[in-house]
Amino acid sequence: MSEHPETTVRVGFVGLGTMGAFMAAHLVRAGFDVTVWNRTAGRDTDLVALGASPAASPAALAAHCDIVVICVTDSPQVHDVVFAPEGLAAGLAPGSLVIDCSSISPLATIDFAQRLRAQQVHWVDAPVSGGSEGAQRGTLSIMVGGDATDVARAQPILSVMGSTITHVGELGAGQWTKAVNQVIIAGVYLGVAEGITLGLKAGLDMDKVVAALSGGAAGSWILTNRSGRMIADDYPLGFKISLHRKDLGIALDLADQTDVDLPVAALAASLEDELIAQGHGDDDNSALARSIRQRSGL
């Protein structure tokens, strides 16, 4: 057990996918008393071997925990994890805190939190950015919305999973910020993909080109970490393109509600729809370059 007193808090973790399994493992290694549950059986094996306890259901997990972290795919999954008959709501005690690291609609976030408030359960929205590499290294950027007292309570847990934790505003603000993040990276992915394709068509040594650009104004996390995949036309999983498309759908819906025009995000969504239809939904998001390459005869 860690020497830090905050790690005596009992933490539940629901959702052990590409991101969640790494995030939960950091909590176990930090000395927290961690209980885990995943919809697909067998995903908890490594975590149990590491020291986590398995739960039979979200309700059973919640009954054992003071704080529960959720990291699942979308708003419907969060709803089911929380409000299904054996969901978290059936086991959460008054005073419990839910930290939702999923990327979902801010409107759904507020609705879920208000429903749990009747049980005196608190909610913080804390979506993450940084890909599977950031989850594995514990260097995620975490955008947090919620009451300041609840955010302070979540801080010791968030700081184990991420290196940049920013309280951006009230409940739902974290999800709004994640939507902004996904809009911005859509444009960067497309820009890098177009630049890489142009350089390849010109016959340039693209490794040298990337080295030259990385220290200048074109430098970015995506150029540094994903250009190699675009050059090789090989896109091993980091963050599924289907999940980014889901997030862009949230952002585009929010844009409609606020009368904002997002032409680049809309273009990225259209290209991602094509890639998903071609069977590439499980490729890394850098597979947007596949579409640009196809259009360019590469």
> What is the b/e burial string over 185-208, where b = at least 16 CB atoms within 10 angstroms of the residue's CB?
bbbbbbebbbbbbebbeeeeebee
Q: What are phi and psi of 120, to 5 degrees?
A: 60, 35
One-letter amino acid of 86: E
Give the 3-state DSSP-derived string for the chain, with helices as H, strands as E and coil as C. Answer: CCCCHHHHCEEEEECCCCCHHHHHHHHHHCCCEEEEECCCCCCCHHHHHHCCEECCCHHHHHHHCCEEEECCCCHHHHHHHHHCCCCHHHCCCCCCEEEECCCCCHHHHHHHHHHHHCCCCEEEECCEECHHHHHHHCCEEEEEECCHHHHHHHHHHHHHHEEEEEEEECCCHHHHHHHHHHHHHHHHHHHHHHHHHHHHHCCCCHHHHHHHHHCCCCCCHHHHHHHHHHHHCCCCCCCEHHHHHHHHHHHHHHHHHHCCCCHHHHHHHHHHHHHHHCCCCCCEHHHHHHHHHHHCCC
Exactly one of 178, 201, 208, 246 is catalytic; name it: 178
Residue labelled with tokens 């071609």: 278
Is 208 assigned a catalytic role?
no
Catalytic residue annotation: 178
